[in-house]
Chain A
């Protein structure tokens, strides 16, 4: 969707936004670690995402300009990676492991429960902008399956009760 907006000539021209001082500072630090500019493309996208929540067309263009590479080339990198979000996401992103050990330990029932409670499927965000549910490949915690990563915290041995607790706690903290 966003990619075609960049390409389509009929769409209104997207303007690069101005990177914040913090973003520039963080990207410049990364530049000291690699021998050329394009190598930090992914890092720069991650930095922008950390500050903005996602990577808009405006952000993408800004980063491409900053790194002196074409926006399409950078978008090729952005769209390649599972964890670069080219659409807005909710305040909390549930990275839900749906790989084989979690499958054996019943992650599909847990996923069905989350979907039912929140009314969202994979790739969707709740209407209140609170949660986004995204499947991720094996989170490497297979002895404590099923697992998901949310808000930087690994939630292990998931059960329907545990999901209810996590959701209740989130609601309380709001």
Chain B
């Protein structure tokens, strides 16, 4: 047994395990047993009981999501599993580690998920810039196929699975799962209306499960060691471990696997070594660019989905971005707004027109041309682009850092307007 099931094989100083080494470390044991002894319904029950929640941002229970896929005689025969490997959330660098560090773990996780929903084709939707991950995954898929773990009638089980690697060409919105499906179908990656949800009608209208890379990498451990082991890994309310990252002005930025329920301080002051010399912590985004700022007083909270939620933010991708006292908060949020404005897919009006407006206000503020009324306009956008007002969650995600910044850094915004300059620009 292990208490770091996601990263136990990972050492970025060497090449990742090939098939033989991965097998030697107990890899694919769980899948082989699953194919022999477990019916798809048993696996579904196990994953439901494990308490695994999606690691792509929303934290939706994985077993519950899978249970919406139609089964039985009348269900469509063709179903798809799609891996969301589009990792483009600002400040997020965890799926890269998993794919570059242990590609067979993802393949094993995919086998488990595909078997459960009885999908015979699985696509990995990989962002185009992850060139090393592409090479390593192609090699690993080839090895798994050679060894009879992919292809037809896997290990005599009667179950078939082909894995196809699709590389994208850079658009953040492709990470939104319905936009991703449109992109895979060769269309512009605008999101789709929900319902119907992909579980019922997804890729080419067939039942489809979209899961994040890290979510799938949790499955081999769950199948191999069981749900009790998995639950016990978590220190707090949530089960399992998760990858957590820290970037910004800390001594040792990086990404580590920790039990859910670990105090934030252990991550930021412990593993990341605390702030770099001469820098103070002002605030942090706990889970990528689409989350609300938390403050130093929140460092003793634990890394649990609900705990961070109650503090007014989201655990989301679990990769923290640190705002230090030498960085202008208006500049930082302006940078995020530029990103979201650029990456808006243009499908719905509030986001297509609202985000460029917000961006232009930030440009004004940063160059010292801001007016008092600008803050009012920004505040109004929090509502116009808020949850339920736009076609997908991109725009509400953009409003999270904005809204919390207007609350916590009001003085900084006002100083830009009052003095007609950015106080950080000497």
Contact = CB atoms under 8 A, between A and B. Distances in A.
Interface of A: 33-36, 38-43, 45-46, 76-77, 80-84, 95, 98-101, 103-105, 136-145, 149, 152, 154
A172 to B, nearest CB: 24
Contacts, number: 130
Given A76-B188, A81-B171, A101-B321, A138 B91 contact: yes
13 contacts: A38-B185, A40-B186, A82-B170, A83-B169, A99-B90, A101-B248, A104-B324, A136-B170, A138-B88, A140-B95, A142-B321, A143-B247, A149-B131
Interface string B325-345: 001000110011011001101
A136 B129 contact: yes
B168 A105 contact: no
Contacts of A41: 186
Contacts of A36: 185-186, 204
A84 B168 CA distance: 10
B391 interface: no
B187 A77 contact: yes
B387 interface: no
Contacts of A152: 131
Interface residues of B, number: 55
A32 B241 CA distance: 38
A171 to B, nearest CB: 24
A43 B131 CA distance: 15
B253 interface: yes
A143 B245 contact: yes
A35 B91 CA distance: 35
Interface in B71-130: 87-93, 95-96, 127-130
A46 B324 contact: no
A4 B90 CA distance: 33
B89 to A, nearest CB: 7
Interface in B217-241: none
B289 to A, nearest CB: 6
Contacts of B168: 42, 81
A63 to B, nearest CB: 11
Nearest to B130: A140
Contacts of A105: 247-249
A60 B246 CA distance: 42
Q: Which of A36, A38, A43, A80 has the largest number of chain B CB atoms within 10 A?
A: A80
Nearest to B185: A39
A81 B254 CA distance: 29
Interface in B129-182: 129-132, 164, 166-172
Contacts of A83: 128-129, 169-170
Nearest to A38: B186
A105 B335 CA distance: 13
Q: Which of B91, B171, B249 has the largest number of chain A CB atoms within 10 A?
A: B91
Contacts of B204: 35-36
B323 interface: yes
B186 A137 contact: no
Contacts of A149: 129, 131
A101 B91 CA distance: 6
A146 to B, nearest CB: 11
A143 B186 contact: no
A140 B88 contact: yes
A137 B342 contact: yes
A99 B339 contact: yes
A39 B184 contact: yes
Contact of A141 (B96, B172, B189, B327): B96
Contacts of B188: 76-77, 80
Contacts of B129: 83, 95, 136, 139-140, 149
A138 B90 contact: yes
Given A99-B335, A104-B324, A136-B129, A46 B169 contact: yes
Contacts of B127: 140
Q: Which of A39, A82, A99, A140 has the largest number of chain B CB atoms within 10 A?
A: A140
Contact of A101 (B90, B128, B189, B343): B90
5 tightest CB-CB pairs across the interface, nearest first? A82-B170, A142-B247, A81-B169, A143-B253, A83-B169
Contact of B169 (A34, A42, A154): A42
A142 B253 contact: yes
A135 B288 CA distance: 19
Given A33-B164, A80-B171, A100-B90, 14 more contacts: A36-B186, A38-B185, A38-B187, A39-B186, A80-B345, A99-B91, A100-B91, A103-B335, A104-B332, A137-B339, A137-B343, A142-B321, A145-B247, A152-B131
Contacts of A81: 168-171
A91 B240 CA distance: 47
A142 B245 contact: yes
Contact of A77 (B132, B172, B186): B186
B319 interface: yes
Nearest to B252: A143
Nearest to B253: A143
B331 to A, nearest CB: 7
B322 interface: yes
A84 B301 CA distance: 43
B130 A46 contact: no
A153 to B, nearest CB: 9
Contact of B90 (A34, A82, A84, A137): A137
